[in-house]
């Protein structure tokens, strides 16, 4: 059986017996993104002036691990410390938007909730502002975390420990985690931050990246051979633990059950943002191990999930549907309901997850490469893409009595079948302005030779801090020219 077939079988097995329960423990923070435009340099100092457009916030670090695990179908409890402040209230409210995630937060008056604010202009980060204390600020919260462990580990299959070296993960806490997990039969999987892995006790699996493996072993990790040597050294130094090292575009490496070092490669993708990709891989590894998958399947599953995460901007969440789609398994309900109210609810759910929603529209009567260029370029600039599709009556008014060639049901199914499309919505009006007002997309995309200000929905989108993007059409590619060529044959 090929690895693709094994992974396909594993993905198909998820869900029928009910979701597994996972516990996430570790440092948490708010990841805030402030978006704007840079048009000039400050006269006060040689720095860019960012004109504010909009901002988003999402739970990060261990909270992002929990969100990813929930999006992959697990029932997740997040046990973590926060401050006794208004930001902790915001953090808890952000968590409430994730179905399947239950927060068990410990409030601590001696520390402030951690916030990382990234300022983004032109698709690039221009500055990051961190508000955090020192690990010692969280010392008083550790006892409360230890006290809460017993009530949270009873039915969990795995405990995911996310160490960001902010103070939550201590030897005392790890000792309690290991003891509670052994009592309940749960596995302990750690994403490490410190070089001395003795901090993590007898965890079942350590998931360092290549740099962290090099730090822990004192060995280089640039090549397959170097990674293999470092893995074997780690196995000798920490014999009670398995090690699965993540290597960015080189995939993952591990010592298999038969003692051989194996390397799992991921397919190359265009990387937009690596923020949170390690969180996604920890969630995927935890879910797969909770289902008692072997390390080959674990590595393949986590590599695929991470590959999807880096194609997104910001602290990203990867769903089980996206992983299945990445393997060529399409969800049966993806983009299958074409009415506005259904799509509006879906857009609200995406936005609650902190996802950027894009919108484009058209008749899409006979699909051609020009259409595909617009769709793919639009999807590359957002996390989810909604396509507004003119109904048959709308097309007749716009294009004449002989159009459309294909009825709206067929056109909608064809459009929904494209991998870059996440939802399709039909509209009977001549323009999609009502859709745009109802869906409030973060990105509006149109194909053609337009001035941005003349595009329907430009004013509404820009007023909300969204962006408008124009895709240059492929010359000589249009439905009208296709029909004319067919009529001449």
Q: Which residues are catalytic?
A: 279
Q: How close are the terminal C-alpha atoms of the chain, in Å?
A: 48
The long-range contacts involving 322-327, CB below 8 angstroms and separated by at least 24 positions, are: 323/11, 323/72, 323/284, 324/11, 325/419, 327/4, 327/7, 327/8, 327/11
What 8-state DSSP symbol labels residue 228? H
Closest CA to 397 of 368, 363, 433, 357: 363
What's the rounded Cα separation, in Å, for the pair 168 and 146? Answer: 11
Rounded to whole angstroms, the Cα distance separating 393 from 428 reads 7
Q: Provide DSSP, 78-147.
A: EEEEEESSHHHHHHHHHHTTSTTEEEEEEEETTSPPPEEEEEEETTEEEEEEEE---GGGGHHHHHHHHH
- Other C-beta atoms closer than 10 Å to the C-beta of 279 total 31
Distance of CA 425 to the CA centre of its chain: 24
> What are 75's strand-pairing partners?
21
């Amino acid at each position: 059986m090929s690895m693709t077939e094994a992974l396909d079988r594993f993905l198909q097995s998820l869900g029928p017996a009910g979701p597994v329960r996972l516990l996430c423990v570790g440092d948490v923070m708010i990841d805030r993104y402030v978006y704007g435009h840079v048009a000039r340099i400050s006269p006060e100092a040689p720095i860019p002036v960012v004109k504010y457009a909009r901002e988003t916030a999402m739970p990060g670090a261990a909270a992002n691990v929990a969100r990813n695990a929930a999006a992959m179908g697990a029932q997740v409890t997040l046990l973590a410390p926060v401050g006794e402040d208004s930001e902790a209230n915001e953090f808890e409210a952000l968590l409430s938007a994730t179905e399947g995630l239950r927060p068990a937060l410990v409030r601590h008056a001696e520390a402030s909730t951690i916030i990382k604010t990234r300022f983004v202009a032109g698709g690039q980060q221009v500055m990051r502002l961190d508000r955090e204390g020192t690990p010692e600020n969280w010392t008083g919260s550790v006892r409360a975390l230890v006290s809460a462990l017993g009530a949270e580990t009873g039915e969990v299959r795995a405990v995911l420990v996310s160490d960001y070296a902010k103070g939550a993960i201590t030897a005392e806490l790890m000792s309690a985690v290991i003891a509670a997990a052994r009592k309940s039969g749960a596995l302990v999987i750690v994403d490490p931050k410190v070089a001395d892995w003795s901090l993590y006790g007898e965890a079942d699996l350590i998931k360092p990246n290549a740099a962290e493996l090099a730090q822990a072993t004192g060995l280089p990790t640039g090549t397959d051979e170097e990674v293999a040597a470092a893995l074997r050294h780690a196995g000798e130094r920490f014999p009670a633990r398995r090690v699965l090292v993540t290597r960015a575009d080189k995939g993952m490496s591990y010592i298999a059950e038969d003692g051989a070092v194996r390397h799992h490669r991921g397919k190359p993708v265009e990387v937009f943002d690596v923020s949170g990709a390690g969180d996604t891989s920890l969630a995927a590894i935890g879910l797969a191990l909770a289902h008692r998958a072997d390390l080959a399947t674990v590595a393949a599953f986590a590599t695929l999930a991470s590959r999807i995460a880096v194609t997104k901007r910001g602290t990203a969440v990867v769903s089980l549907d996206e992983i299945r789609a990445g393997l060529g398994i399409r969800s049966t309900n993806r983009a299958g309901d074409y009415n506005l109210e259904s799509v509006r609810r879906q857009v609200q759910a995406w936005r609650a997850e902190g996802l950027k929603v894009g919108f484009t529209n058209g008749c899409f009567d006979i699909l051609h490469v020009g259409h595909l260029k617009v769709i793919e370029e639009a999807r590359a600039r957002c996390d989810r893409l909604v396509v507004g599709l003119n109904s048959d009556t709308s097309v007749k008014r716009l294009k004449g009595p002989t159009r459309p060639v294909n009825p709206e049901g067929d056109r909608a199914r064809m459009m929904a079948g494209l991998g870059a499309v996440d939802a399709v919505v039909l509209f009977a009006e001549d323009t999609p302005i009502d859709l745009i007002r109802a869906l409030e997309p973060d990105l509006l995309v149109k194909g053609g030779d337009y001035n941005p200000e003349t595009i329907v929905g430009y004013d509404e989108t820009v007023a909300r801090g969204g962006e408008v993007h124009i895709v240059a059409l492929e010359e000589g590619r249009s439905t009208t020219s296709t029909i004319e060529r067919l009529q001449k044959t």
